[in-house]
């Protein structure tokens, strides 16, 4: 894939390689954060494709649309879900991607695309996507939407990390009543 990077426009190449400094420098120089490559992909699509979460965050901070579609009508969230990149899925949801968006030629959602991916996969930190959504969510409405989408996708509300901490406990500690209510309704204790 390194050969493909060489042919990318500057902002796409920075997204592919995770070069946040270049992303910010290009933005300061007037680069369009939603510029398209030959396949209609934005730099955020490329960050999702290559698993560069720092680049994805920087791009959205620079004004990239987390709900943009490529020429095949696929968004970055669906790309990440198809790749089984749980951390990127959680990040994109937190950044404002639409978990209910119907994408692609087959009218799928990101959850359908991820059907083969284990939604309850535990990271090296002992967290699932559901736990990370609650931990890192800083907007109650977006966090609730992310929690709801993950629960609908089969996330286990009762799961605990290696220290015995649950998403519900985290939501309560943060004072996130909406996320807590969703988790309780899904059987968390």
Q: How confident is the model over 127-183, as pLDDT tens digits?
A: 888 998 898 888 899 899 999 988 988 899 999 988 899 999 999 999 999 999 999
Domain 119-189, CATH: 1.25.40.20
Exposed e or buried b per residue across 4-39, where buried means at least 16 C-beta atoms within 10 angstroms of its C-beta: eeeebbbbbbbbbbbbbebbbebbeeebebbebbee
pLDDT for 95 equals 95
The sign of the CA dihedral 175, 98, 155, 43 is negative
Where, residue-wise, is CATH 1.25.40.20 in the chain? 1-117, 119-189
pLDDT value at position 116?
A: 59
pLDDT tens digits, one per residue of 48-63 = 999 999 999 999 999 9
Architecture of domain 1-117: Alpha Horseshoe (1.25)
């Amino acid at each position: 894939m390194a050969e493909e990077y060489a042919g990318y426009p500057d902002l796409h190449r920075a997204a592919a390689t995770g070069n946040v400094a270049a992303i910010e420098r290009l933005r300061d120089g007037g680069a369009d954060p939603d510029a398209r490559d030959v396949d209609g992909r934005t730099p955020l699509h490329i960050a999702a494709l290559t698993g560069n979460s720092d680049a994805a965050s920087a791009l959205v901070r620079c004004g990239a649309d987390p709900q943009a579609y490529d020429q095949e009508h696929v968004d970055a969230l669906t790309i990440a879900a198809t790749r089984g990149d749980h951390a990127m899925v959680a990040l994109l949801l937190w950044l404002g991607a639409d978990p209910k968006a119907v994408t692609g030629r087959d009218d799928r959602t990101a959850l359908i695309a991820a059907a083969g991916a284990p939604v309850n996969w535990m990271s090296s930190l002992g967290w699932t996507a559901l736990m990370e959504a609650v931990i890192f969510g800083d907007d109650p409405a977006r966090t609730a939407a992310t929690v709801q989408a993950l629960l609908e996708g089969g996330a286990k509300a009762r799961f605990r990390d290696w220290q015995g901490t649950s998403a519900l406990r985290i939501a309560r500690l943060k004072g996130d009543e909406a996320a807590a209510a969703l988790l309780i309704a899904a059987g968390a204790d």
